[in-house]
Structure 1
């Protein structure tokens, strides 16, 4: 898919060593790799091509005045553009990303006449003179401050935003969503997760619930109707508020947090608050068959359950897979499996992850329940109740809240794994022998045919049988 760029009528851009204008008009275009962007009038925010690698760029908006230029929104986070790609506000009024390889992405498909990079960090497209065609369309998170104006973002009912992915800029596996019922929910949506955190208040009666940002005190809260707060986030933001940039983000490990950065003296972003005090509470944070630890309640350390190994050691959060694939139900015996016991841990994925409950059970009893059930790959013992788990196993971890709980993981024994390896070797040897016999037989036939063919007496027989007219057809080379 491709689109020829229309001749531009007016080009209003900012170069690093030139003048700044916050506006673009129809026909404006600029190119990835040319180090140009559209700045807000205060210079605090920029729109353009944000470099993520030497030759890859995101179309986005970022904080421009601080040393750590932080991206806050992108139109192509899962498809970075290469050097030579362009952004254009076409004569038809569409905001278009033209990739260098010929692909095209419409960022806005209406009929705008003017684009403005505002001091609140929002790119607004307008029809002349005043109608707003496109604006406040930035995917959450986006909370920031510039001069005397604070960006006011509201997230309406039935809207959502994704976390960052493994590449920091790509879409991740977690989502912040405002549901129809007025609850704000965090979930690992790729895993059909109903949510690992949600606001306690539901939308009862009429009135839309919004996630809003208070311009006076830099606080986030849920509001129903006008000035009816139904949920407030923590209140320890730095003051004076106007001296700081502010942003909220859903990070790659599924935690929703707010940060502040002093406009003149700050060297980095300082966290104001976070929703979750225990990082391992996040559903599927270490992927399938992963095991989450967090010794400091800040960082997430992903390991594999006993008997499992990482899909990608460089990205532990992608989860794990079995070292050896064994069908325990084909030979139900203690010889092919054992149960590893992990103290002070849990696999809390109730309703979805549990398939059988056994109350009044001790440690040995729960272990035996796993051993005797060929379909059970794991179980947990919590408050003397044994919970057998469905597969894939999710949310295994050790936190301050799992003390006293016990996890049981079924893994193949060494003899079972050796048996699989031996069968594989035997199968491979048999395959090699079969192939060798076939090859040897074929070569024997071939050599026999060649010997027969090259001997003088047989050649005369062949000539007499297959070539009665030697002047027309020759079966062998010249004698």
Structure 2
């Protein structure tokens, strides 16, 4: 016998409600996780996990990550600038607040924009961590407070930003930012590090016409800037992915300032790993030139794009890296500097090492035209302040002072760098 129409509609709606409720596992009030206990909150498919990841011995990051791949790649974190010691606890309190405390009970983190008290929490299969009220309305979500990563179906709203990590192993806020401003403009910026949320200079813009409303990361893999009507204004990253293969995806502003779209195949060969589908800008080494600040690499180093299209930071001859664990930390002069004593300029104790197509464009303090290459070298050798002479065919000569900034090595540079070094000059181990 056919069901009466109103009963059919009621049952159909009941099925919808039931299926909606089973799309995630409710985390109830009073639930907690403790750093070092290896306990997790999982999404229904187990694709994503929420919990503590150990970053250094005894120090933990409260984070979300891809749970089914060996790398356990982090997609979001709460306390990136203040790691939690072992024994710290994240709790959905009985009065409906999410809070991270250290072992003494001191607050380390809580959501910035939680609208009202929560009745439950959940990790979704999209990688979003949500707090919901008694009517299942979302009152806070990790998608609204991103760190350096976007996931498919996640949007970046006006006034929001991604801030790169400091290094590949140090998740604290770093030197680059991807922002959608309230004026509708979208751009990649350097930050006034260590004021990492204070913007310094733009190094990549997108054709937004000042109408940008949201950056939308679609399931198909495109990252688009849309206006208030949802119309696409610009492709931020445009290489869509094949639907024939199921894969994980993420867009991340990496520590080197490049916005990259990564893909991880779920069902292919055993040697699976993340591969880059698209990225911006094309060449970070030539894209960034800061009036203040070091540029992509640290002071006194220079940036060269590797075969993997990732930047390498290199110390010039006679210089050594400041921090061996961080190639972007910059370099120091590894020999005693030239004396400026009028009686002895030590000119005979210095010579030059030559680098092709290298320059530090904003470090010059004198510029000469229509001079020879030998004249250019000599004028630097005679000047105790001159660390590098740059020569361009046609007779341009620049004297450079330390610390050198915005260093780059690229065929487009088309200059010769003469690096002044001490002949058999011993080393200078004082950093």
| TM-score normalised by structure 1 residue count | 0.70
Ranges in structure 2 where 5+ consecutive residues have no aligned partner: 1-21, 289-294
Match of 1:142 in 2: 149
Match of 1:321 in 2: 332
Say if 2:133 is the partner of 1:127. yes
CA RMSD between the two structures: 3.4
Contact 1:277 1:297 in 2 (8 A): no
Q: What is the alpha-carbon distance in structure 2 between the residues aligned to residue 349 and residue 226 of structure 1?
A: 43
Superposition deviation, residue 123 in structure 1 = 1.1
Flag the 1:295–1:161 CA change in 2: closer, same or farther, 3 A. closer
Residue in structure 2 matching 1:257, options 255, 260, 271: 260
Residue in structure 1 matching 2:316, options 300, 305, 310: 305
Give the secondary structure class of the aligned counterpart of 1:370: helix
Residue in structure 1 matching 2:356, options 339, 344, 366: 344
Residue in structure 1 matching 2:28, options 20, 25, 28: 25
Give the secondary structure class of the aligned counterpart of 2:380: helix
Flag the 1:340–1:196 CA change in 2: closer, same or farther, 3 A. farther
Give the secondary structure class of the aligned counterpart of 2:53: strand
Give the secondary structure class of the aligned counterpart of 2:358: coil
Superposition deviation, residue 50 in structure 1 = 2.4
Q: What is the alpha-carbon distance in structure 2 between the residues aligned to residue 141 and residue 160 of structure 1?
A: 5
Say if 2:204 is the partner of 1:198. yes
Flag the 1:159–1:63 CA change in 2: closer, same or farther, 3 A. same
Give the secondary structure class of the aligned counterpart of 1:381: strand
Number of aligned residue pairs: 390
Q: What is the alpha-carbon distance in structure 2 between the residues aligned to residue 123 and residue 76 of structure 1?
A: 15
Match of 2:19 in 1: none
Flag the 1:113–1:326 CA change in 2: closer, same or farther, 3 A. same
Flag the 1:20–1:374 CA change in 2: closer, same or farther, 3 A. same
> Please, which moves more after superposition, 86-95 or 288-297?
288-297
Say if 2:159 is the partner of 1:154. no
Say if 2:292 is the partner of 1:287. no
- Between Structure 1 and Structure 2, the one with more helix by share is 1
- Between Structure 1 and Structure 2, the one with more strand by share is 2
Larger Rg: 1
| TM-score normalised by structure 2 residue count | 0.77
Flag the 1:72–1:299 CA change in 2: closer, same or farther, 3 A. same
Match of 1:469 in 2: none
Residue in structure 2 matching 1:268, options 253, 270, 273: 273
Flag the 1:65–1:203 CA change in 2: closer, same or farther, 3 A. same
